[in-house]
Structure 1
Amino acid sequence: MTFQVTVTPSGRQFSCEADETVLSAALRAGVGLPYGCKNGACGSCKGKITAGTVVHGNHQQRALPETEEAQGMSLFCCAKPQSDLTIEAREIVASGDYPIKKMPTRIAKLEKLSDDVMLVKLQLPANERLQYRAGQYIEFLLRDGKRRSYSMANAPHLDEHITLHIRHMPGGVFTDQVFSTLKERDILRFEGPQGSFFLREDSDKPIVLLASGTGFAPIKALVEHLIHTQSTRPVSLYWGGRRPADLYMNDLCQEWAAQLSGFTYVPVVSNATPEDQWSGRTGFVHQAVMADFPDLSGHEVYACGAPIVVESAQRDFVAQCGLPADAFFADSFTSEADLAN
């Protein structure tokens, strides 16, 4: 059975099969709903159903608490229609959306950036190019049918290789391979580009970039894109980690701050030990932003990293710093444990 979905306030409409998720149908129809993990774990695709009913597949309670579901909220990545629907969602208007491709790729380089972060460079087939926006991600297609998502850490104009920053999660289906058996010249397959985390270039507002851990990867791509386009928007980058070693490209960020006009960099460490001899900012990275920007009403925020960091930043920036809800853009990094639940 086929149902009709109407998106407000844009008025766009698309059809959705009864066994298809709302997000999948929207993407198939070229309707730009926001999304991240596509597994019901990150909450990026959350919107409201104002007419009709859906049934939700497996998802994280954190991403859609029962209280929100009772109020009509929905995770469109795992919601299947039971009737015609009217949904309320912040539609993304992105001219020239790039096609999602399945492609083979060869490992060109593996380099440890820290004890638990690997730089992976991917070589595409000759005469092939992946068109994408800085901030988007790819999904590796594993042999057992599972998928693993990683943000591209280089801007599109720096496309000799696709670079990824992969953190080792002990026991992880894919990351154990990356840190043990995977070697240069191995062949993998991926699908991309994916995700709605990218720079909104129709704005001239000052930008706050917030990263935790390897959430720095897509943030790095955004900075490279801003440099490439000679943007004049003021940019403040806050990068948080538990220990100084987690800020594995700190020197690059310091170089940006020294060389770029209107760019500031604030590293923040939450669990420094005496042997770290850390003299910089401490505590939670989003609280460092709040201390420096008590009024975010005229800014845009791009946040990426652990779900708890992204969720805390969104809640507190909007409630306490006056950030407009539609000026917060995020990519919440779900772990393999999140996807398994």
Structure 2
Amino acid sequence: MLDQWYNGVVTRIVQETHNTRRFWIRIQGKEVFDFKAGQFVTLDLPIHEQKNKRWRSYSIASPPDGTNEIELVIVLLEGGAGTTYLFNEIKEGSTLVLKGPLGHFVLPENLDKELMFICTGTGIAPFRAMAHYINSHNIPHAPIHLIYGCRQQCDLLYADEMRKLEEEMPGFRYLPTLSREDNQWTGRKGYVHLIYEELVGLNKQPAHFFLCGWKNMIDEAKQRILAMGYDRHAIHQELYG
């Protein structure tokens, strides 16, 4: 059944930042689109004759909620055929062809070790789904740290929502960090790596490191986490681009 394709109707589009949009898609022919927080869907876009050059995968940014509607958050890539099509051609009411849910980037069975959610840009999508899922189901968990790297404050996705979740959800910390100087910003500056290294500190508590974003961030994070003495099985990754 993995290769079953569905039609999805775009019910809503919101421009979230200057180059990022949120797309809500209702899957036709299914009363409930059942997936695990962290999984993705693959879209088949009419941008090439070869099917594997038409496929674009995006993490589901919404938690499983018993409905047939999902949310994707997508950044416009310069020269990217897929995102150019989505931004220029897709309107509310448009139909997209998609398959899923796919992927093994999901929460561990037991959340008894600290969770380090480390991401850049739209890589926050699966962690938003996971955090809301844990919160809404009151799942017991060790501390969760959402370490989110962006260039500037205007690039942060779901910032107000994550701050609200931090207030509501015991043991959840939202740690945005900006790599470009921003005089209005009183939060953390620099790159994500310094934050998880600082959090782990000297006691190296048991932890799961979930990495989602661009390849260079993930490669560097894996090297640093292994260098701190963690096992490679503690590292889970979802690569973008």
TM-score by length of 2: 0.91
Aligned to 2:186: 279
Structure (1 or 2) with the larger CA radius of gyration: 1
Structure 1 residue 100: Cα displacement: 5.1
Structure 1 residue 267: Cα displacement: 0.8
Aligned to 2:56: 148
User: How far does the alpha carbon of each residue in 1:120-143 deviate from its partner, in whole angstroms, 9 at most, with x for none?
Assistant: 000111544322111011111122
Query: Greater relative contact order (Cα 8 A, min sep 6): structure 1 or 2?
Result: 2
Aligned to 1:313: 221
Determine if contact 2:119/2:212 at 8 Å carries over to the other structure: yes
Write the distance in 2 (CA, Å) between the matches of 1:226 and 1:180: 35
3-state SS of the aligned residue for 2:210?
A: strand
Write the distance in 2 (CA, Å) between the matches of 1:127 and 1:301: 34
Check if 1:245 corresponds to 2:154: yes
Aligned to 1:269: 178
Aligned to 1:14: none
Percent identical pairs in the alignment equals: 26
Aligned to 2:102: 194
3-state SS of the aligned residue for 1:180?
A: helix
Aligned length: 234
Write the distance in 2 (CA, Å) between the matches of 1:177 and 1:189: 13
Greater percentage in helix: 2
Structure 1 residue 99: Cα displacement: 4.6
Aligned to 2:238: 331
Matches within 5 A, 1:207-222: 207-222=115-130
Write the distance in 1 (CA, Å) between the matches of 2:219 and 2:194: 13
Structure 1 residue 255: Cα displacement: 0.6
Determine if contact 2:38/2:127 at 8 Å carries over to the other structure: yes
Aligned to 1:174: 82
Aligned to 2:13: 110
User: How far does the alpha carbon of each residue in 1:212-259 deviate from its partner, in whole angstroms, 9 at most, with x for none?
Assistant: 100001110111111133122121111110111111211111111111
Write the distance in 1 (CA, Å) between the matches of 2:28 and 2:6: 8
Amino acid across the alignment from 2:116: V
Determine if contact 1:238/1:266 at 8 Å carries over to the other structure: yes
Write the distance in 1 (CA, Å) between the matches of 2:205 and 2:223: 14
Structure 1 residue 293: Cα displacement: 1.5
Determine if contact 1:208/1:236 at 8 Å carries over to the other structure: yes
Write the distance in 2 (CA, Å) between the matches of 1:270 and 1:228: 32
3-state SS of the aligned residue for 1:223?
A: helix
Write the distance in 2 (CA, Å) between the matches of 1:203 and 1:265: 18
Go from structure 1 to structure 2 and tell me whether the alpha carbon gap of 1:203 and 1:232 turns closer, same or farther (over 3 Å shift): closer
Amino acid across the alignment from 1:111: V
3-state SS of the aligned residue for 2:8?
A: strand
Go from structure 1 to structure 2 and tell me whether the alpha carbon gap of 1:188 and 1:304 turns closer, same or farther (over 3 Å shift): same
Structure 1 residue 165: Cα displacement: 0.4
Determine if contact 1:307/1:333 at 8 Å carries over to the other structure: yes
Write the distance in 1 (CA, Å) between the matches of 2:146 and 2:66: 21
Amino acid across the alignment from 1:169: L
Structure 1 residue 324: Cα displacement: 2.1
RMSD (CA atoms): 1.7
User: How far does the alpha carbon of each residue in 1:102-160 deviate from its partner, in whole angstroms, 9 at most, with x for none?
Assistant: 11111111111100110000011154432211101111112222101110001112635
User: How far does the alpha carbon of each residue in 1:83-105 deviate from its partner, in whole angstroms, 9 at most, with x for none?
Assistant: xxxxxxxxxxxxxxx85531111
Structure 1 residue 312: Cα displacement: 1.1
Determine if contact 1:101/1:193 at 8 Å carries over to the other structure: no
Aligned to 1:254: 163
Determine if contact 2:10/2:92 at 8 Å carries over to the other structure: yes
Go from structure 1 to structure 2 and tell me whether the alpha carbon gap of 1:226 and 1:170 turns closer, same or farther (over 3 Å shift): same
Write the distance in 2 (CA, Å) between the matches of 1:137 and 1:226: 18
User: How far does the alpha carbon of each residue in 1:269-320 deviate from its partner, in whole angstroms, 9 at most, with x for none?
Assistant: 001244xx11111111122111222244411111111111111111101212
Determine if contact 2:153/2:182 at 8 Å carries over to the other structure: no
Go from structure 1 to structure 2 and tell me whether the alpha carbon gap of 1:173 and 1:247 turns closer, same or farther (over 3 Å shift): same
3-state SS of the aligned residue for 2:89?
A: coil
Determine if contact 1:270/1:283 at 8 Å carries over to the other structure: yes
Structure 1 residue 203: Cα displacement: 4.5
